[in-house]
């Protein structure tokens, strides 16, 4: 107990001496030992590396997980060293909604089938995004975090020790200058030599750690290359998925209004009425205005009225144009049945 009290008193005395020395330096009333320019540059470079690494790491986390609530939750689970619940990416959730809607509307309908196709592609995009996030976290974020929580903390600790050794050295120099008696001066000189040796030893340790920043930059460069590779792979996958989806979407029927980019459902065009005084023409009485062609039905079509013909996907029919129908419709024949059909539901054959 007596030993501990003596140590406590000694530590308190040292702390007080350092505080006095630091205050006098700030007030300009005491000299201080300056580090050489190379050492100062090393410390500046280390601080700059730490500050920019923090910013890059935080913004990368935002890119990989834009949801701030999810980021906080992941941080808490990480600190607790527990695995968090599986979380769907936003694009995966969109894909699930589209798939469910397509099944509800009917996979055999143009819109329902298209929703399912797009939903499946969104899920693939979500899986690719997960792989990108995982690779970026392991190969890029983790090394940055290890530097901040490991190497830089060790540098900061040694720099703090160096600061204390410098304060002790300068305080001993101040006492030596104030000493008048020969005995006091001899004791002061011995104290300065010890403080100088401790300061030099700590400066060398700190310098070696600070020079390791060059190795840190080389490691972070390698990690940056891996991050770019993961990002390139991710975007290449996304591009390929969207190219494939675009090809699939080209098989679904769409019609467009002039100067409009919004797809609209096929419009039913009524057959023109007969002139006054004449009997109304039926679909069976309309004669071809051009040569007949064979056509394959792309999708099921339910006739809207008696002038139209219902279709089944993949069946073969004969089609031709007649006056008054417009460019979106053709007359069709299937055995003894006749009726107009939308062109968008057909693949005209040579």
Of the chain, the end-to-end C-alpha distance in Å amounts to: 106
Residues 24 and 81 in one domain: yes
* CB-based contact 133:65 (threshold 8 Å): yes
Residues 162 and 224 in one domain: yes
Residues 32 and 86 in one domain: yes
Q: What's the CA gap between 269 and 232, in Å, rounded?
A: 49
> What is the distance of C-alpha 174 from the center of its chain?
57
**Does residue 95 fall inside a structural domain?**
yes
pLDDT of residue 1: 45
**Does residue 277 fall inside a structural domain?**
no
Most distant CA pair in the chain: distance in Å?
A: 140
**Does residue 266 fall inside a structural domain?**
no
pLDDT of residue 141: 95
Q: What does residue 340 show for φ and ψ, rounded to 5 degrees?
A: -80, 150
**Does residue 261 fall inside a structural domain?**
no
pLDDT of residue 78: 64
CATH code where residue 30 lies: 1.20.1270.60
**Does residue 242 fall inside a structural domain?**
yes
Q: Strand 293-297 to strand 316-320: parallel, antiparallel, or no bridges (unpaired)?
A: antiparallel
Residues 154 and 61 in one domain: yes
pLDDT of residue 284: 40
Residues 178 and 127 in one domain: yes
CATH code where residue 311 lies: 2.30.30.40
Residues 174 and 311 in one domain: no
Q: Which domain holds residue 36?
A: 12-249
Of 206, 232, 249, which residue sits at a domain end? Answer: 249
pLDDT of residue 279: 34
Residues 315 and 206 in one domain: no
Q: Is residue 261 helix, strand or coil?
A: coil
Of 191, 223, 249, which residue sits at a domain end? Answer: 249
Residues 57 and 100 in one domain: yes
**Does residue 264 fall inside a structural domain?**
no
pLDDT of residue 225: 97
Please count the structural domains in the chain: 2
Q: Is residue 255 helix, strand or coil?
A: strand
**Does residue 139 fall inside a structural domain?**
yes
Residues 62 and 158 in one domain: yes
Of 228, 249, 270, which residue sits at a domain end? Answer: 249
Residues 19 and 64 in one domain: yes
Residues 177 and 36 in one domain: yes
**Does residue 301 fall inside a structural domain?**
yes
pLDDT of residue 290: 54
pLDDT averaged per 10 residues in sequence order, the chain, 350 residues = 57 68 67 87 96 96 84 64 70 94 92 93 94 94 95 95 90 84 86 92 95 95 96 95 89 52 43 38 44 86 87 89 83 89 86
pLDDT of residue 154: 95
Q: Is residue 346 helix, strand or coil?
A: strand
Residues 317 and 181 in one domain: no
For the CA atoms of the chain, what is the radius of gyration?
40
DSSP secondary structure letters along 287-338: --SS--EEEEE-S-B--SSTTB--B-TT-EEEEE--TTS-TTEEEEEETTEE
Q: What token pair was written down for 57?
A: 């790491």
């Amino acid at each position: 107990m007596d030993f501990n009290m003596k140590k406590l008193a000694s530590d308190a005395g040292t702390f007080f001496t350092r505080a006095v020395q630091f205050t006098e330096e700030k007030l300009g009333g005491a000299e201080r030992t300056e580090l050489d320019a190379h050492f100062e540059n090393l410390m500046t470079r280390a601080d700059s590396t730490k500050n920019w690494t923090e910013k890059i790491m935080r913004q990368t986390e935002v890119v990989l997980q834009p949801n701030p609530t999810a980021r906080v939750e992941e941080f808490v689970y990480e600190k607790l060293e527990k695995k968090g619940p599986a979380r769907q990416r936003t694009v995966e959730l969109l894909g699930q909604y589209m798939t469910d809607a397509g099944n509800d509307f009917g996979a055999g309908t143009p819109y329902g089938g298209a929703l399912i196709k797009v939903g499946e592609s969104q899920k693939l995009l979500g899986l690719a995004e997960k792989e990108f996030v995982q690779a970026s976290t392991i190969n890029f974020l983790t090394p940055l975090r290890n530097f901040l929580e490991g190497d830089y903390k060790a540098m900061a600790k040694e720099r703090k020790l160096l600061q204390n050794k410098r304060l002790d050295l300068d305080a001993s120099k101040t006492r030596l200058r104030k000493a008048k008696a020969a005995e006091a001066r001899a004791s002061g000189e011995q104290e300065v030599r010890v403080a100088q040796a401790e300061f030099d030893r700590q400066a060398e340790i700190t310098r070696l750690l600070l020079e390791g920043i060059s190795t840190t930059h080389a490691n972070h460069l390698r990690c940056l290359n891996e991050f770019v590779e993961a990002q390139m792979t991710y975007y290449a996958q996304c591009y390929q998925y969207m190219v494939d989806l675009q090809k699939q979407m080209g098989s679904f029927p769409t019609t467009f209004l002039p100067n409009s980019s919004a797809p609209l459902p096929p419009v039913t065009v009524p057959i023109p009425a007969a002139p006054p005084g004449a009997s109304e023409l039926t679909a069976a009485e309309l004669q071809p205005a051009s040569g007949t062609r064979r056509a394959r039905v792309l999708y099921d079509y339910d006739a809207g009225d008696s002038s139209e013909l219902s279709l089944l996907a993949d069946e073969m029919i004969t089609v031709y144009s007649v006056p008054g129908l417009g460019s979106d419709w053709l007359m069709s024949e299937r055995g003894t049945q006749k009726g107009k059909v939308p062109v968008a539901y057909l693949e005209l054959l040579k």
